Amino acid sequence: MYQQRRSYNPRNSFPRPGGRYSTPNKRPIKSFNPSDLVKRVVPQESAPQEVPVSTIQFETLNISLPLKGNIAYKKYTEPTPIQDQAIPHIMEGRDVIGIANTGTGKTAAFLIPLIDKVLKNPYSKVLIVAPTRELATQIQQEFEDFTYRLGIYSVLCIGGTRAYRQQADLRRRYNFVIGTPGRLKDLSNTRDLDLETFDTVVLDEVDHIVDIGFITDITYLISLLPQKRQSLFFSATFDEKVKAVLRAFVTDPITVSVKKQDTTQNIDQDIIRVHDKSRKFEQLHDLLLQKQFEKVLIFGRTKWGVQKLADELVRRGFKADAIHGNKRQPQRQKALDLFKRNVTTILLATDVAARGLDIDNVSHVINYDMPATYEDYIHRIGRTGRANKLGVALTFVD
């Protein structure tokens, strides 16, 4: 139970649990009763849990020894279920559809076999498409870890940074291009990026690519790729729009699904009633003063509103920063890195941060502004309660 000073009354602000989850969908979140945003984590019985048996081990995998060394350096020992099921099929050259939640290790599931593919065939080229700059940068960082001293290079092609540097990098030797749809399309149109030379393509977080309106760009990019290629397709959900992209993308695919549990099962969800809007920020302030709010991600609706909140929290002595579309990409990346390293303990964001980011040990997600849809809500709160840890999600309700 959260105790606040001043005007906050926990007895009034936390209704008793009564709602259950609906299947994530596109309905506006305001169509939900507030009790739908209340769910207590129920302690699991201490009965033995069924542990999936890995069919592969990294040390015995038929990949190059230097790559194995980099995997071991990252302290990867047992493959996650998505890695265990996807890596052998990718190494066989098959098209793969991976249905998996974020935070399940799927980035390594495609990077490890594709890096090995390039080591065995230096002429191979891999295109990796991600919906957001932050996710693309995160993939790039993991790529650099796996390719340390292997002589394999990538080009990061994202918006918010100077295009001429990416154009220069594309004139050098590389095997991987990691980017967002808009910038990839621009570089293709200027003929700096020749997609016909790529024999492998990965679409990551496809459901979000579709959600944020990149389906036309993706269709265009796919049309420029050679027909003979290996295609890997990863998504957390699988609705009709996602299937439409899929039909144009893969050939005789293997489907791997490890999405077997509710992504929110480790998240204690509750609401905070706002009876006086003029006191809303004070309610947030008093929450953040509490000791258990160790590492907090706060979502707001607008870029302006998020920045205003961040500035006021900093003025009051909190270690806070913000990421949103009005910030240049280096500023956004710096804010994210500081939060990951616990230099700042509060990160405020618009929904640009809700998908695909793997941030360790977020203790609380706070929806200061209501998300547009219930699906957005699920993706926001999914930044906490990861890696089998408990998390807390709180939503301000007027």
* Order of all β-strands in the sheet with 200-203: 154-157, 176-179, 126-129, 200-203, 230-235, 96-99, 254-257
380 residue type, one letter: R
361 and 388 Cβ atoms separated by less than 8 Å? no
At the fourth CATH level, the homologous superfamily of domain 10-41+265-397 is P-loop containing nucleotide triphosphate hydrolases (3.40.50.300)
- The CB density around residue 213, as the number of other CB atoms within 10 Å, is 10
- The CB density around residue 204, as the number of other CB atoms within 10 Å, is 24
Closest C-alpha to 392, from 286, 266, 291: 266
Closest C-alpha to 105, from 56, 60, 152, 69: 56
| 372 membership: H or E segment, kind and range | none
- pLDDT for the residue numbered 13: 33
| 96 membership: H or E segment, kind and range | strand 96-99
- pLDDT for the residue numbered 96: 96
- Please provide the DSSP assignment of 334-366 as one string: HHHHHHHTTSSSEEEE-GGGSSS---TT--EEE
**Would you call 278 exposed, middle or buried from its count of C-beta atoms within 10 A (0-12, 13-18, 19+)?**
exposed
Please report, for the chain, the start and end positions of each structural domain, with discontinuous segments joined by +. Answer: 10-41+265-397, 58-257
- pLDDT for the residue numbered 380: 87
Question: Between vectors from CA 57 to CA 56 and to CA 63, what angle results, nearest 5°?
Answer: 95
**Would you call 272 exposed, middle or buried from its count of C-beta atoms within 10 A (0-12, 13-18, 19+)?**
buried
Query: Which tokens sit at 99?
Result: 């249905």
Give CA–CA dist 173/205, Å, rounded: 27
At the fourth CATH level, the homologous superfamily of domain 58-257 is P-loop containing nucleotide triphosphate hydrolases (3.40.50.300)
Q: Count of residues for the chain?
A: 398
Q: Quick check: do 10-41+265-397 and 58-257 share a fold? A: yes
Could you give the dihedral angle defined by the CA atoms of residues 156, 157, 158 and 163, in that order, rounded to the nearest 10 degrees? 120
Q: Which of the 8 DSSP states describes residue 373?
A: B
Give CA–CA dist 336/58, Å, rounded: 30
Give CA–CA dist 113/90, Å, rounded: 6
- Alpha helices by DSSP H, listed for 49-194, are 65-73, 81-91, 106-120, 133-146, 163-169, 181-189
- pLDDT for the residue numbered 356: 58
pLDDT in tens, the chain (398 residues): 444 433 333 333 333 333 333 333 455 565 556 677 888 776 654 434 444 567 888 988 999 999 999 999 999 988 999 999 999 999 999 999 999 877 788 999 999 999 999 999 999 999 999 998 989 999 999 999 999 999 999 999 999 888 999 999 999 999 999 999 999 999 999 999 999 999 999 999 888 888 778 888 999 999 999 999 999 999 887 777 788 888 878 989 999 988 655 567 789 999 999 999 999 999 999 999 999 999 999 999 999 999 999 999 999 999 999 998 888 888 988 999 999 999 999 999 998 765 656 788 999 999 999 988 887 888 888 889 877 788 999 999 98
